Amino acid sequence: MRTAVVPGSFDPITLGHVYLAERACALFDRVIVVAMTNAYKRSYLFTPEERLRLMRESLAHLPRVETDYYDGMLYEYAERVGACAIVKGLRDLEDAEYEMEMARYNNAHNPDAETVFIMASPQLAEVSSTAVKERTRRGESLDGMVAPPVAEALRNKISKEN
């Protein structure tokens, strides 16, 4: 069984992330979408439990997808679950440069997990967790950016900030 890990902070999960999981399902037998802690992000809007719930709801249509949370190194997680691949999405050249550096690092520590890059859908290339949070703060529509449960959770969370 070929297992792939699709990592991210998923704060919150977007339709771009869902697209990546869907594409990974076409390539691998088992796909684990894992929310992780990014040391470069100062704070998260959603708790790990909330992120996992939103991930499960957004990915429910994909029967071979599992969700998880891990607060450690990606290469360790990939080894722990026996992943042969780490699947990363690319929206632009800036993403590519960063992700290639991370791929080299992960490969140096776990050469059994190959990093696989999947290009973002052109319709979703501008969608990011940061963008949907900003749109929510401005009261703008999130149609086509996140699943309805995520939009509702964002509106609720942002309204409590104010």
From residue 96, alpha-carbon distances to 114, 117, 155 in Å are 15, 9, 31
Residues 6-20, mean pLDDT to the nearest whole number: 96
Predicted TM-score of the model (pTM): 0.93
> From CA 151, how far away is CA 101, in angstroms rounded?
32
pLDDT per residue as tens digits for the range 90-136 = 988 888 999 999 999 999 999 999 999 999 988 888 899 999 999 99
Closest CA to 4 of 110, 90, 116, 120: 116
What confidence score (pLDDT) does residue 126 get? 87
Domains of the chain: 3-161 (3.40.50.620)
What is the tens place of the pLDDT at every residue in 52-74? Answer: 999 999 999 999 999 999 999 99
The residues assigned a catalytic role are: 17, 41, 91, 129
Distance of CA 84 to the CA centre of its chain: 18
